[in-house]
A = this chain, B = another copy of it.
């Protein structure tokens, strides 16, 4: 059975505890509201889509466990669960959307049983939709690989640990690998939080995809001396003109790709596109705690008094992006609004 970041059994969710990776593979059963909230808060689960799915199951698990006797109690308990889960990661948009969707499933005209069933179906639907979107992005993305045996590069973690499916950029690599198209993956370690070293390398080993870990500053030398055929990265937010915000280091990769003539693809679901953001200059860059830079997994690597800049992400201009791969297909960055045409018409 393939590893999946979360499995729902009708009462509880079983997750991979990502805070234990890469040294140990620990599964945890989440049954109570407190267990769900703690798993999100302490980053046992991470990745925007996965956080949303976990929270959705959390509301359902809570409502099922309290066995409400009437409609008011059902609503009260559902609202309490939503509030507690919402507070776990205050800036996570997917989290709010997923909680909102499960809460909206409650219908005053329905019985308790009907409503619990509707809520559970909604949570499962969010999970399955996510999985299906990953599958579609994987197929569209693998289609752009024309070489029989490609060397590909990626940054951060965008695989099955970040979603309930195979992932976004890494999902493309998995799909292409199953088609025999991948010779080797070069994974950037992704300082400061090292998602590439800790999570992506672990995923690639689990799936037996041949891979090398490299420090972020080695990407240029690898393109120069070894040669890279394709780069696939995820996205935090895509502006209407195709400019893309993603993990710090993505802009560097795009500039290097341009220099060495390597096709550079962004892989992200349509929900990542923000039609209200005209271009990347409008996206403010989140600055995080300097201690993420001056420490590595608890070890002090610089003087404690040292100042540091810690940008969480950077913005890659559309002009450096070969294509954006969504569940709808592959788009040129300047045409990315076509990927959400249906959404706008509605």
Contact = CB atoms under 8 A, between A and B. Distances in A.
Given A294-B197, A296-B299, A297-B296, A190 B212 contact: no
A191 interface: yes
A217 B249 contact: yes
Interface string A239-275: 0000000001101100110110000000000000000
A283 to B, nearest CB: 11
A219 interface: yes
B205 A306 contact: yes
Given A22-B302, A205-B306, A220 B255 contact: yes
A197 B251 CA distance: 22
A285 B221 CA distance: 10
Copies of the protein in its oligomer: 2
A191 to B, nearest CB: 4
A303 interface: yes
Interface residues of A, number: 60
Contacts of A211: 306-307
A225 B309 CA distance: 12
A223 to B, nearest CB: 9
A301 interface: yes
A205 B299 CA distance: 20
Contacts of A252: 217, 219-221, 252, 256
Among A194, A212, A251, chain B packs the most CB atoms within 10 A around the CB of A251
A252 B255 CA distance: 9
Nearest to A226: B309
A188 to B, nearest CB: 7
Nearest to A303: B22
B301 A194 contact: yes
B293 A213 contact: yes
Nearest to A290: B213
Nearest to A210: B307
A214 interface: yes
A222 interface: yes
A216 B202 contact: no
B296 A296 contact: yes
Nearest to A247: B217
Interface in A54-103: none
B224 A314 contact: yes
B299 A299 contact: yes
Given A219-B252, A220-B314, A309-B218, A302 B213 contact: yes
A307 B298 CA distance: 24
Contacts of A210: 307
B305 A205 contact: yes
Contacts of A214: 293, 308-309
Contact of A217 (B205, B221, B248, B302): B248
11 contacts: A23-B303, A188-B217, A191-B217, A198-B302, A212-B309, A213-B302, A214-B308, A215-B293, A215-B310, A222-B311, A255-B256
4 cross-chain pairs, A with B, having the tightest CB-CB distances, nearest first? A217-B249, A216-B217, A221-B314, A191-B215
